């Protein structure tokens, strides 16, 4: 008898079935929907210029472009500042919990961002979204624990 060279993944995730996975199982899984939700949080970038223009139509395009850069930079800076913290929290409290907190916070901040009426309100909501979405490393760790390496 041959021993299987595949090892069980480590970690504290709920893995469901241990056998093969079909495409329909993947699309029904909550992991798939979590990844899709993370993707849709970045759709806001396409309309940023027009939203900033609606705050003050008299501003020149160069100023609005600068505001858009500040907005995107603030998101990335907030994400950078909290990524390590979210990693530590996920090690202590569970990866699923951290991802759900991040997605819920990002959803709320995206709604606030969409309803904001000034540049400063939009900037604050964007920074909150970045701070609560510093979980890219957590997601990568989660995926590496789930996916089996082919040898």
Q: Is residue 8 domain-resident?
A: no
**Helices 61-93 and 48-55, packing angle to 10 deg:** 120
- Read off the DSSP letter of residue 45: G
Closest CA to 98 of 12, 3, 2, 7: 12
Q: Is residue 37 domain-resident?
A: no
CA dihedral 59, 62, 64, 67 (to 10 degrees): -130
Q: Is residue 75 domain-resident?
A: yes
Confidence of residue 27 (pLDDT cuts 50, 70, 90): low
Decide if 90 contacts 141 (C-beta within 8 A). Answer: yes
Q: Is residue 9 domain-resident?
A: no
Q: What's this model's pTM, rounded to 2 decimal places?
A: 0.65
Q: Is residue 96 domain-resident?
A: yes
Q: Give residue 145's pLDDT.
A: 80
Q: Is residue 29 domain-resident?
A: no
Range of the domain at 65: 46-146
**Mean pLDDT computed over every residue of the chain:** 77
Decide if 82 contacts 134 (C-beta within 8 A). Answer: yes
pLDDT digits (tens, 9 = 90+) for 99-140: 888 888 888 998 998 899 999 999 999 999 889 887 778 888
Q: Is residue 105 domain-resident?
A: yes
Q: Check residues 31 and 72 and name the one with the higher pLDDT.
A: 72
Report how many domains make up the chain. 1
Q: Is residue 125 domain-resident?
A: yes
């Amino acid at each position: 008898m041959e021993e299987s060279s595949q090892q069980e993944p480590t970690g504290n995730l709920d893995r469901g079935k241990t056998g093969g996975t079909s495409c329909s199982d993947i699309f029904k899984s909550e992991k798939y929907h979590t990844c899709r939700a993370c993707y849709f949080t970045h759709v806001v970038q396409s309309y940023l210029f027009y939203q900033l223009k609606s705050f003050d139509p008299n501003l020149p395009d160069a100023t609005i472009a600068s505001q858009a850069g500040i907005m995107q930079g603030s998101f990335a800076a907030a994400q950078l500042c909290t990524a390590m913290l979210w990693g530590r929290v996920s090690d202590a409290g569970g990866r699923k919990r951290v991802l759900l907190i991040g997605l819920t916070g990002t959803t709320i901040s995206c709604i606030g961002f969409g309803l904001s009426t000034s540049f400063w309100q939009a900037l604050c909501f964007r920074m909150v979204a970045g701070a609560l979405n510093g979980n890219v490393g957590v997601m990568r760790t989660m995926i590496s624990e789930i996916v089996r390496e082919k040898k």
